Amino acid sequence: MERAARRDGLELGDGSRVAVIGAGPAGSLFAYFLLEMAGRVDVPLELDLWEPKGTFATPGPAGCNMCGGIVSETLVQNLAVEGINLSSKVVQRGIDSYVLHTDVGSARIATPLQEARIGALHRGAGPKDVKDPRWESFDHHLQARALARGARLVATRVEEIAREPDGRPRLGGKDGTARTYDLCVAAVGVNSPLLRQLEALGIGYAKPRVTRTAIREYHLGQEVISRTLGSSMHVFLLDVPRLEFAAAIPKGDYVTVAVLGEDIDNELVDRFLASPEVRRCMPPEWRLEQRSCQCMPNISVQAVEKPFADRFLFIGDCGVTRLYKDGIGAAYRTAKAAARAALFHGISEEAFRRRFQPVCRAIAGDNRVGKLAFQATRVARGFRFLRAGMLRMVTDEQRRPGARPRMSGVLWDMFSGSAPYADILARMLRPAFLGRFLWSTLLSLWPRRRTPALTEAP
């Protein structure tokens, strides 16, 4: 690949300095890709990863990045192609199926390719009561790959962001570290107070719109998890006000409960966890108040309009991410596109607009379609006869060998984030899908043909 020639000075060259704020997936992947590409074209760069959590090796909030911890099969494949393989120490449990729980029954949805390719993991070193840290943090794993490429870890919090008279970014850390860079890449989460400073720089950045979610960790032990939840991710579509989506994700010794919706609070989470549908799939001795960890972070639900400026880039959650699902996959896409644009086309606003923004627009546009897809599931969730029809359709598909997984495939991809929302919605609107769903709904209303629940055990 040849680098574009530039004459305005807004380019990366020998010895250029790059700052990446945040060493989560977006930040570490950007550093990995930029240094790998720069090595290929023999352009030595200095790259600092600013991360106050250090190497994500401390259990609890000090090393946690507040995430449910699911990586889709698409991302697993993409990382493998890049030479980043997720070992059994990182992936704590392979997910080979989903169990859909409703108030009218449950159904198991097997992976379309009959293999466990979705990974359940911890972004940090695990909940605060971890006593035997046998697992490797996913964020640490990616960060280590970036450091191996030549990145330098600056384990302190960025407390000041400013611009030099020539426009170059200057960062100041809590420990007194201060340095000026040619390019600053913000890869911080939407919960970071640093976003206010970035807005105040006058470069046209405005942080994304957010909503709140809830994540809880429960220690059950591997043996109990294997006996009850198994290698299935348990998804709940319940007609509970303000509840959009909820899931129980089995990992090593823990189960992560993730709840999405509007105005999430502890009362809503407790009401959901006390529901019969949750109680039935958890072990009898489980108590909802015996949680190991809890956080209620914000998540992005709308991308920023302008995730770039001269010498500045915004990737990951603070730029654009996928709606509700596969945020790590979006971090991969934006990080790689940003690295390629910066190295080969320059670090000006115009270069980013031409070479980086198309990727952001594609994700943001697909999110708009995703809102329609989630609205459709919201309608189905609000009517008992539609929930019964959905469950019957899934049950029939899973029981009949060779049956086309119309509803099963749609739900699998919505739960895992393995396909674009535009593709999912297009499948939902096909006549064959709608006809089969209507027929399943009518059958579910017939007294003698009510939908039998599939066994919930893995």
Query: Would you list the domain boundaries of the chain?
Result: 17-56+138-206+303-369, 93-128+210-299, 383-444
The answer to whether residue 115 scores a pLDDT higher than 60 is no
d(CA 421, CA 373): 7
State the residue for tokens 């494949």. Answer: 77
Q: Indicate whether 456 pLDDT > 50.
A: no
pLDDT for res 129: 85
**Token digits of residue 61:** 């909030």
| H or E element that contains 93 | strand 93-95
Q: What is the pTM of this model?
A: 0.91
Distance CA 25, CA 90 (A): 14
Pairing of strands 183-186, 312-314: parallel
User: 93-128+210-299: which CATH architecture?
Assistant: 2-Layer Sandwich (3.30)
pLDDT of residue 454: 47
pLDDT tens per residue, range 11-28: 999 999 999 999 999 999
Highest mean pLDDT, choosing among 122-131, 141-150, 251-260: 141-150
Segment 254-273, tens digit of pLDDT: 999 999 887 789 999 999 99
Domain boundaries 17-56+138-206+303-369, corresponding CATH code: 3.50.50.60
pLDDT grade for 60, boundaries at 50, 70 and 90: confident
User: Residue 193: exposed, middle, or buried by beta-carbon count in 10 A (0-12, 13-18, 19+)?
Assistant: exposed
Tens-digit pLDDT profile for residues 80-92: 899 998 888 888 8
The mean-pLDDT minimum among 125-139, 270-284, 407-421 falls in: 125-139
Using CA atoms, how far apart are residues 135 and 264, in angstroms rounded to an integer? 30
CA angle 371–374–375, rounded 5-degree value: 85
Q: Is the pLDDT of residue 358 over 50?
A: yes
pLDDT score, position 457: 42
Task: List the end-to-end C-alpha distance of the chain, in Å, as a whole number.
Answer: 48
- The residues, ordered by sequence, that sit 6+ positions from 258 with a Cβ below 8 Å of its Cβ are 68, 213, 214, 215, 246, 247, 249
Phi, psi of 234 (to 5 degrees): -100, 120
pLDDT of residue 341: 98
Task: Work out the pLDDT band at 455, boundaries 50, 70, 90.
Answer: very low
Please list, residue by residue across 131-142, b when 16 or more beta carbons sit within 10 angstroms of its beta carbon and e when fewer do: eeeebbbbbbbb
By the 8 A CB rule, do 256 and 273 touch?
A: no
How far is residue 456's CA from residue 444's CA, in Å, rounded to a whole number? 20
- Report yes or no: 407 and 393 within 8 Å, Cβ to Cβ: yes
